[in-house]
Chains A and B, each alone.
Chain A
């Protein structure tokens, strides 16, 4: 008897439930792109090295090419398609658009999903490798350009749009939180 090679799963994506039968080898990325026609998450390397497939799993960023679809059941999955509210872009999307934080656009959904989580991670007080003072009582350091670059480094961009991406993330973060001034986040 042939081994069982597929299962029915229910995935919770952008607030909607999708039930489908998937090959056990199917990654979350391929399920999104090839089964559910959610092609916003991109396949740049298929081995977790480029970040183009970044989505949010329970609010935290994850590379969906290293996640099996069958293992994503029960988790809140947010893709680039789930960020805007109707015609109103998410502040990060708007900042990328206004400041030209992209060129070919292929890494862009991953960059934007990452940026959304970066801003939340920073606001929640998570330090990064370039945070000088990591004691909890020190409080969050300003979301400097250096902090953004460090935290966004899992998302490659071959067009070389990093300078504008960092500006866009800084601007979106400033919009999101009044306590962070524009000058601080765009300082070199």
Chain B
């Protein structure tokens, strides 16, 4: 009898097409806003057009007279809700869950009303016709280091500041110093599927059909907000059209739909528009980061300082903890890091793919490249010389740290040895060519989850877990992992996900979903096999075992190891100094991420993350109009994400990454492809042009203004 942690079969490590793939390529897969409901009403949100003030008057009468309009909900008639609760994992909710509870407007794009009508066309026209008057106040939306409100803000897992050693003394004693400021643009998740929810009440029970990253978390939030027993809310999510952090928690549309459904006593669907997603679903704050590195002539670090500033709203404290990577990546006698924030009249930011690490790695890994240049050392060699024995701040040992293997294998495949280190010397027609590299890392979490496994009488098995498949391939990965644990072919295993009826499970976030879910499934399988080994025949209703990893995950979460995944990113770019255009020509990512379950979908996830890196490096930047305090061009025309023509051939692969002390062996891969990718591209732009680009995105105008002779 194998135990959960020893289970190895034949499915893991072999490429498998997605179990729901056929439904996705034929259009049969139904997303949250696509399931028919009898008697469905459609809600359309109305958002504030001022960035600060109060709602003075909402002229509902004309709108209520429009065809098909059923209700206009606003602060004058909303049901009372409670947002004084705290989620054990996510903390307190943002004020946007207190839908229509006050007349206060804390930012542009704040929900002020919901118009409900028989059809979506009627709801939309009425919402656009609704006249809202405001008492407008002066707003403050400009992020700057000089802002008087800058303060250290504690992150989700670590303090705001961590310091050791005498920074001034070590910098003064350093032979080589890099002192630079980096900036990243405000980013928006923009999953292709807009957020959509349908809410329906059955007496005091709330049924929700949703698109989310974790139904248990949405259900808990709704139960608390509407003061219901936790078991009175059922949330289901089947197919999710991308999320990237934006669907990780309950938001305005959930509460608005449930409130309207309660008042009208019929099912209500609320689908956000693309524009509404920019202010209601979180985003990545712009960052301004200062880094100082001091080193001896051989490039050995003596001083590391990284201070990162982000914005948060006046209603919630969220910090883009961009110095987290610095705290575990490189050591120095003096090592100071600080995550800073300033509260502005802006929407609340939140988790977005590789939160902290994505912008932080840009600053840190560009600074390391600058240090390599100043020391006259190859950038990879510089990193090898600064490989720490233990966590620089924590003092903990690394559970496995195979970043060197990633650099060595990546350098071999990329042809790094032939690279001429001199910048600005390669020309091909109108293009200047360059290559760059950067390290990648992401923390490895595991969170409590529960799963059930049923042995069916027909010799098949059903696994049930409240996981979400956001396009990550989780449904397929869990099928393969369960099959191997059961030692049966994957065709005999069916995995059902996304339903709070299956118990509590980790939200699909922080690259911890699959790892946490497999941990629970293996435990349930082990217990099931134990039962089946007694030899009794499986009854018609099957044999079901439910297990959870609440104790095991907690123990692992608080153990004494630095647990992370690693990678090395490589990029080649072409820069046209006449137009400022930057084109990425090729990328390679090598990753050390434990055991890969499904090579087919894992490759897609890495490449997807690296594509985000291109997008962050060259394209993505929400444009804020300081005069109105709102975004300009909050759509796919004004906010460009990488399109087909922006993305070249990208190669992603992985090195062996044994981690004998880890009880799961499977590590997260959702975020790390995005870490370091923008830095590798920016470093390649320097190698092409000889000019450092320290502000993302690297727009043509920024290249033109910075490049001599252009």
To the question of whether A and B form a pair in one complex, the answer is: yes
The interface of chain A, by Cβ under 8 A from chain B, is 5, 23, 25-26, 30, 33-34, 37-47, 49-50, 52, 79-81, 83-84, 89, 93-94, 96-98, 100, 102-109, 112, 145, 148-150, 152-153, 155-166, 188
Q: Are A47 and B274 in contact (CB under 8 A)?
A: yes
Q: How far is the CB of B352 from chain A (nearest CB, A)?
A: 12
Q: Using Cβ atoms and an 8 Å threshold, which residues of chain B touch A148? A: 644
- Smallest CB gap from B31: residue in A: A106
Are the CB atoms of B194 and A37 closer together than 8 Å?
Answer: no
Report the minimal beta-carbon distance from B209 to chain A, rounded to whole angstroms. 13
How many chain-B residues does the 8 Å CB contact rule pick out?
Answer: 66
Taking the closest CB of chain A, its distance from the CB of B599, in whole angstroms, is: 10
- Asked whether, in the complex, the Cβ of A41 is within 8 Å of the Cβ of B27, the reply is yes
**Does B155 count as interface, using CB distance less than 8 angstroms?**
no
A-B contact count (CB 8 A): 177
A-B residue pairs, 10 tightest by C-beta: A40-B27, A104-B471, A160-B611, A106-B241, A105-B24, A160-B608, A103-B471, A80-B27, A49-B636, A39-B34
- Chain A residue at minimum C-beta to C-beta distance from B274: A45
Q: Which of A43, A89, A164 contacts B607 (CB 8 A)?
A: A164
A/B interface sample: 7 pairs, CB < 8 A: A39-B27, A41-B27, A44-B194, A50-B192, A106-B192, A150-B644, A157-B192
Residue contact B648 to A105, C-beta cutoff 8 Å: no
Is the contact region of chain A dominated by helix, strand, or loop, or is it mixed? Answer: loop
Contacts of B642 in A (CB 8 A): 160, 162
Assess the A81–B604 pair: CB atoms within 8 A: no
Q: A34-B120, A97-B17 are in contact. Are A160 and B607 (CB under 8 A)?
A: yes
Inter-chain contact B26/A156, CB cutoff 8 Å: no
Residues B167-208 near A (CB distance < 8 A): 189-194
Question: Given that A44-B194, A105-B241 are known contacts, is A39 also in contact with B30, CB under 8 Å in the complex?
Answer: yes
Least Cβ distance of B243 to chain A in Å?
A: 8
Tell whether, in the assembled complex, residue B242 and residue A102 are in contact, meaning their CB atoms are under 8 Å apart: no
Contact of A80 among B26, B191, B241 (CB under 8 A): B26
Given the known A-B contacts A40-B26, A49-B637, A160-B607, are A104 and B191 also in contact in the complex, defined by CB atoms under 8 Å?
Answer: yes
Give the residues in chain B near A161, CB-CB below 8 Å. Answer: 604, 607-608
User: Which residue of chain B is the closest to A35 with respect to CB atoms?
Assistant: B119
Residues of A contacting B644 with CB < 8 Å? Answer: 148-150, 152-153, 155, 157, 162, 165-166
**Do A188 and B25 touch (CB < 8 A)?**
no
From B26, B239, B615, contact of A81 by CB (8 A): B26
A residues near B22, Cβ cutoff 8 Å: 89, 97
Chain A: which residue is nearest B471 at the CB level? A104
Contact check, A30 vs B26: say whether CB atoms are below 8 A apart: no
Does B17 lie within 8 Å of A98, measured CB to CB?
yes
Which residue of chain A lies nearest to B125 when distances are taken between CB atoms in the complex?
A25
Instruction: Give the distance in Å from the alpha carbon of A49 to the alpha carbon of B605 in the complex.
Output: 24
CA distance A160 to B607 in the complex (A): 7
B244 in the interface (beta carbon within 8 A): yes
Give the residue name and chain of the A residue nearest to B585 (CB).
A188
Distance from A132 Cβ to chain B, minimum over Cβ atoms (Å): 14
CA distance A44 to B273 in the complex (A): 9
A1 to B99, CA, bound (A): 39
Which of A34, A47, A52, A159 lies at the interface centre, i.e. has the most chain B CB atoms within 10 A of its CB? A159
Contact B28 A40 (CB under 8 A): yes
Contacts of B21 in A (CB 8 A): 97, 100, 102
Given A47-B635, A156-B641, A160-B642, CB of A42 within 8 Å of CB of B608: no
Contacts of B604 in A (CB 8 A): 100, 103, 159, 161, 164
